[in-house]
Amino acid sequence: MTPAQTALLDSLAATLGPKGIVTDAERIAPWLVDWRRRFHGAAPALLAPASTAEVSAVVAAAAAHGVPLVPQGGNSSMVGGATPPADGSALILSLRRMTAIRRLDAAANLAVAEAGVILSDLHEAALAAGRRFPLTLGAKGHATVGGLVSTNAGGTQVLRFGSMRGLVAGLEVVLADGSVHDGLAPLKKDNRGYDLTQLLIGAEGTLGIVTAATLRLAPEPATRTTAWAAVRDPAAALALLRRCQAGSDALESFEILPQETLAAVLAYVPGARAPVATTAAWHLLIEHSDPAGAALTERWLGEALADGLIADATIATSAAQAADFWRLRESISDAERALGPASQHDLSVPVDTMPRFMIEAAAACEARFPGCRASGFGHLGDGNVHFHVRAAPGTDPARWYAEEVPVVTRFVDDLVIAAGGSIAAEHGIGQMKRDELERTSSPARLAALRAVKAAMDPLGILNPGKLVTLAPRRAGQ
């Protein structure tokens, strides 16, 4: 521990108490590595404040002593965004003790949740009030409100309700000097200058520490219809998506996956069955909560069959069957991991571009990296492709990750930029994509990001090394 870190802990001992300062290496260890075990950090202490006032005290002290902080919620970042630097220079600032749902107003469709509230707990609290918080994702049992806000999390319901950016009505934030910005009031119109709430959403804890959020709820829908369709290609899928969107405001999910991905899932999940018997190159998982119910889906799918847009389709006849469909979708990551090492890319392109991109990018990767298999699945309605390039059979995993993945990544990212897309759709930048963000961003964008970072965190104490560096990095930095 550095003298500055020791002094910092001493200054906070009375404020945080023994529960709020963890220096036991064994208790810290789980929080030093990301959940995919790709990034390993070090930190001599973990600070766990229990209130906004305590977070404020921590950040003020960190500023005074010049000690960086790495904010952490559920530690489920896909990009190493919550893993501290390896040199032990930073302390972990865990928000997991801030678990209060301060308010839940069903009539106003609003909840005020502290940063440490776990997503599935928020789901349950909303449901108990006859409402729902309409954002969900695989890590819902770990991901916290603070992390969801700070990464502008997405998931499988973005089509209708948007990502976190659309669901946050206000934020409480501790700024880099320890001052508290109270922006929790749910004002639907507020033009008092730059929108600090929007600036903090997706900032990955590099501009301020989110301590609480006012979140929009939605009525729990009376009906939900889930269908599976076999489709020729992504272009036909997009045509069907446009018809569905024209026919209802309540389309909630429109997921696409290739046949080989479905095959991998069926091989991986014990007892799983293909929803439709017809073999097709692509598959769709469609869900809506329109009051018109299954009749609407039947009409959509019937017309699409008649027009040759789809080859086969089925509508789940029970909640259990709908859950089976979703289990296939949610098992993709695990199933693909079982196929061997891969280079995984969370990217987005304009929705209209996505069908062509999925086909052409896969072909380009397979041509450029002989023996590799490339394919994408994802959220067609959001233009969000989870694009995987799998190593050629027999490839040594260590060599693949150390030598090949960076080359594949640059190749894929160049394809994305050429298509007018984003190299970071819903997982953020963290430390994993920081260099690629620098490489692929225009000088104008990069200068603006750096200027904002320097303005809001002039001492560089908030989540150092994540998202953007203040100057071009030198080799080995």
Task: Compare residues 264 and 429 and give the one whose CB is closer to its own copies.
Answer: 429
471 contacts its own copies (rule: CB under 8 A):
no
- Return the number of other C-beta atoms located less than 10 Å from residue 33's C-beta: 16
Per the structure block, which two tokens stand in for 225? 């219809």
Within residues 381-420, the interface with its own copies by CB under 8 A covers 381-384, 420
Task: Compare residues 176 and 264 and give the one whose CB is closer to its own copies.
Answer: 176
Report in angstroms how near the CB of residue 193 gets to its own copies at its nearest: 5
Between β-strands 46-47 and 91-94, what pairing exists: parallel, antiparallel or unpaired? parallel
Counting every residue written for the chain, the total comes to 477
What is the C-alpha to C-alpha distance for residues 169 and 45, in angstroms, rounded to an integer? Answer: 33
Contact 367, 332 (CB under 8 A): no
Task: Compare residues 202 and 465 and give the one whose CB is closer to its own copies.
Answer: 202
376 contacts its own copies (rule: CB under 8 A):
no
Within residues 184-203, the interface with its own copies by CB under 8 A covers 185-196, 198-199, 201-203
Within residues 219-248, the interface with its own copies by CB under 8 A covers 219, 242, 246
Q: Interface with its own copies by CB under 8 A: which range of 140-148, 313-321, 357-365, 455-463?
A: 455-463
Q: Alpha carbon of 233 to those of 80, 139, 328, 356, 436: distances in Å?
A: 34, 30, 19, 10, 30
Q: Alpha carbon of 3 to those of 27, 42, 145, 284: distances in Å?
A: 22, 16, 33, 57
445 contacts its own copies (rule: CB under 8 A):
yes
The count of C-alpha atoms lying within 13 angstroms of the C-alpha of 169, restricted to the half-sphere facing its C-beta, is 18
End-to-end CA distance of the chain: 21
14 contacts its own copies (rule: CB under 8 A):
no
Report in angstroms how near the CB of residue 45 gets to its own copies at its nearest: 26
The residue from 277, 398, 444, 475 that contacts its own copies (CB under 8 A) is 444
Helices marked H in 354-442 = 354-368, 397-399, 405-418, 434-440
The residue from 426, 431, 462, 465 that contacts its own copies (CB under 8 A) is 426
Task: Compare residues 18 and 188 and give the one whose CB is closer to its own copies.
Answer: 188
Task: Compare residues 312 and 438 and give the one whose CB is closer to its own copies.
Answer: 438
277 contacts its own copies (rule: CB under 8 A):
no
* 357 residue type, one letter: F
- Across 400-411, b (16+ Cβ under 10 Å) vs e yields bbeebbeebbeb
* DSSP calls for 158-224: HHHH-SHHHHEEEEEEEETTS-EEEE-S--S---SSS-HHHHHTTSTTSSEEEEEEEEE-EEPPS--
- Kind plus residue range of the DSSP H or E element containing 15: helix 3-20
307 contacts its own copies (rule: CB under 8 A):
no
Q: Interface with its own copies by CB under 8 A: which range of 89-97, 225-233, 260-268, 450-458?
A: 450-458
The residue from 75, 83, 151, 431 that contacts its own copies (CB under 8 A) is 151
Within residues 156-185, the interface with its own copies by CB under 8 A covers 158, 163, 165-166, 175, 177, 179-183, 185
Task: Compare residues 40 and 242 and give the one whose CB is closer to its own copies.
Answer: 242
Within residues 77-116, the interface with its own copies by CB under 8 A covers 105, 107-108
Residues in contact with its own copies, counted by CB under 8 A, come to a total of 79
Query: What character string, x for contact with its own copies (CB under 8 A) and - otherwise, covers 342-371?
Result: ------xxxxx-------------------
